Amino acid sequence: MIVVTGAAGFIGSCLVSRLNADNFNDIIVVDNFTVARKEPNLQGKKIKLFVDRMEFPEWLDKNYEEVEFIFHLGARTDTTEFDPAIFNLLNLEYSKKVWLACCEYQIPLVYASSAATYGAGKLGYDDDENIVPLLNPLNPYGDSKNDFDKWALEQTAKPFFWAGLKFFNVYGPNEYHKGRMASVVLHAFKQINDRGRLELFRSHNPEYADGEQKRDFIYVKDVVEICMFLMHHRQNSGIYNVGSGQARTFLDLAFNTFEAMGREVNIDFKDTPSDIRDNYQYFTQATMDKLRRIGYTKPFYTLEEGIRDYVQSYLIPNTYY
């Protein structure tokens, strides 16, 4: 059996679909299943058992002998939530329980970290584990992810294989439930579809023109391929970036979304909301050498390819992955 926590969410549900595609059908999905808007993410998938996230540690204690691998993707991911206690409970302490169980029962583990750990990027975006204690995230979500990375690296007891994945700006199908936290591609599609135009955040940094803010956007299909690779690889434990390795501007994203939809470009700019303006990242770009060095050779979707597939294969027909 393969466990996926956060399985009803964006990346988790896509991973379940990708596992099914390779005939892994004994999937244990773990999540808070009371959120109705997430339900379509798992419809039609081959799943062995649904386990509530708060009951999972006890379930694992009873069923560990049958578990082959754990993908721990479940987390509170709201970057506009500023109560550290919520992140401490759901992200840090919960992840420690999963880690310790994987040590005790010798189960390999892949868990979700985040590029939010890099903060404003003053130390760059290199997945060198030596800089993890020096990083300064910009919000409690990033703190919780970096605190767990630091804790994991400090442990003398580790699963025989483990990997922490620093996800950059992931976009793609099955993020429809995420609301404000959905990718810019989904927001762009909705705005263009509804109004025929798109609003982007104005730059409040004199070093960047409006729309020239850059992020490392990675298509979710690349993310799940990396997960599959690590499940089979089971060597070279450590923390890895998961990005495309290529920063692109929000204008690039906008132009490609208009093109994929067959619409004329029509862009306005608005002020970045005050609650996120001071902690806004103007540039992110993953260094991907470390993952390549351990043998991951697949090419990544370009922004053009990823947006075209997302818009035309999923958003326009309103389908799930």
Other CB atoms within 10 Å distance of the CB of residue 102: 26
DSSP code for 235: -
Give me the pLDDT at residue 78, please: 63
Tell me the per-residue pLDDT of 65-98, one tens digit each, with 9 for 90 and over. 999 999 999 876 665 666 767 776 677 889 999 9
Q: Which domains does the chain have, with CATH numbers?
A: 2-171+218-245+286-301 (3.40.50.720)
C-alpha 54/C-alpha 82 separation (Å) is 22
Query: What is the pLDDT at residue 92?
Result: 83
State both tokens at 57: 């540690």
Q: What is the Cα–Cα distance from 146 to 118, expressed in whole angstroms?
A: 9
Rounded distance between C-alpha atoms, residue 50 and residue 29, angstroms: 5
- Residue type at 205 in one-letter notation: N
Range 210-219 average pLDDT: 96
Decide if 178 is catalytic: yes
Q: Tens digit of pLDDT for each residue in 222-264? A: 999 999 999 999 999 999 999 999 999 999 999 999 999 999 9
Q: Choose among 39, 6, 8, 46: nearest CA to 24.
A: 46
* Residues annotated within a binding site: 10-11, 31-32, 38, 53, 73-77, 145, 169-170, 178, 180, 187, 201-204, 215, 280
Per the residue annotation, which of 45, 158, 178, 190 is the catalytic one?
178
- Phi, psi (deg, nearest 5) at residue 186: -65, -45
* 3-state SS assignment for residue 218: strand
> One of 118, 141, 240, 310 is an active-site residue; which one?
141
As annotated, the binding site for NADP(+) includes 10-11, 31-32, 38, 53, 73-77, 145, 170, 178
Amino acid (1-letter code) at residue 123: L
Question: Is this structure's pTM higher than 0.85?
Answer: yes
Residues at the binding site for substrate are: 169, 180, 187, 201-204, 215, 280
